[in-house]
Structure 1
Amino acid sequence: MFRGRGWSFGFRTAIILYFICLIVLPIFGIYTQSFSLGWMPFWESVSDPLAWKAVLLTVKLAVIATLINMALGTMIGWVLIRYRFPGRSFLNSLVDLPFALPTAVGGLLILLLLGPNSLVGSLASSVGIEIVFHEPAIVIAMLFVTFPFVIRAIQPLLEELDKSEEEASYTLGASKAKTFFSVILPTMLPGILSGAMLAFSRGLAEFGAVVLVAGNIPGKTLVASVYIFGEIESNNPQGAAAVSVMLLTLSFLILWLVNVLQARRTGA
Structure 2
Amino acid sequence: MSASRRQILPGFGLSLACTLAYLSLLILLPLSGLAFRASHLSPAEFWAIATGERALASYRVTFGASLLAATVNAFFGLIVAWILVRYSFPGKRAIDALVDLPFALPTAVAGITLATLYADNGWIGRYLEPLGVKVAFTPFGIVVALTFIGLPFVVRTLQPVIEDIEPEVEEAAASLGASRWQTLIRVLFPAIFPALLTGFTLAFSRSVGEYGSVIFIAGNMPLISEITPLLIISKLEQYDVVGATALAMVMLVISFVMLLAVNALQWWAANRHSECSPSMGARR
Equivalent positions of 1:1-268 (< 5 A) are 12-257=16-261, 259-260=263-264, 261=266, 265=270
3-state DSSP of counterpart to 1:72: helix
Identity %: 33
**Alpha-carbon distance in structure 1 between the residues aligned to 2:170 and 2:20:** 45
Q: Following TM superposition, by how much is the alpha carbon of 1:162 offset from its aligned partner in structure 2, in angstroms?
A: 3.1
**Alpha-carbon distance in structure 2 between the residues aligned to 1:97 and 1:200:** 18
Structure 1 pair 7/41, CA: closer, same or farther in 2 (3 Å)? Answer: same
- Are the equivalent residues in 2 in contact too, given 1:198–1:254 (CA < 8 A)? no
**Alpha-carbon distance in structure 1 between the residues aligned to 2:20 and 2:191:** 35
Aligned letter for 2:30?
P
Q: Following TM superposition, by how much is the alpha carbon of 1:179 offset from its aligned partner in structure 2, in angstroms?
A: 1.0
**Alpha-carbon distance in structure 2 between the residues aligned to 1:48 and 1:140:** 27
Q: Following TM superposition, by how much is the alpha carbon of 1:237 offset from its aligned partner in structure 2, in angstroms?
A: 1.4
**Alpha-carbon distance in structure 2 between the residues aligned to 1:252 and 1:104:** 26
Structure 1 pair 12/164, CA: closer, same or farther in 2 (3 Å)? Answer: same
TM superposition score normalised by structure 1: 0.90
3-state DSSP of counterpart to 2:124: helix
**Alpha-carbon distance in structure 1 between the residues aligned to 2:11 and 2:198:** 36
- Are the equivalent residues in 1 in contact too, given 2:193–2:269 (CA < 8 A)? no
Q: Following TM superposition, by how much is the alpha carbon of 1:19 offset from its aligned partner in structure 2, in angstroms?
A: 2.0
Q: Following TM superposition, by how much is the alpha carbon of 1:22 offset from its aligned partner in structure 2, in angstroms?
A: 1.5
Shift >6 Å, 4+ stretches:
none
3-state DSSP of counterpart to 1:173: coil
Provide Cα deviations, 1:90-132, integer angstroms capped at 9, x if missing partner. 2212212212221111101101211223132222222222111
TM superposition score normalised by structure 2: 0.85
**Alpha-carbon distance in structure 2 between the residues aligned to 1:18 and 1:197:** 23
Structure 1 pair 203/98, CA: closer, same or farther in 2 (3 Å)? Answer: same
Structure 1 pair 197/242, CA: closer, same or farther in 2 (3 Å)? Answer: same
**Alpha-carbon distance in structure 2 between the residues aligned to 1:142 and 1:42:** 29
**Alpha-carbon distance in structure 1 between the residues aligned to 2:14 and 2:174:** 56
Which runs of no fewer than 5 residues in structure 2 stay unpaired? Answer: 1-9, 275-284
Which runs of no fewer than 5 residues in structure 1 stay unpaired? Answer: 1-5
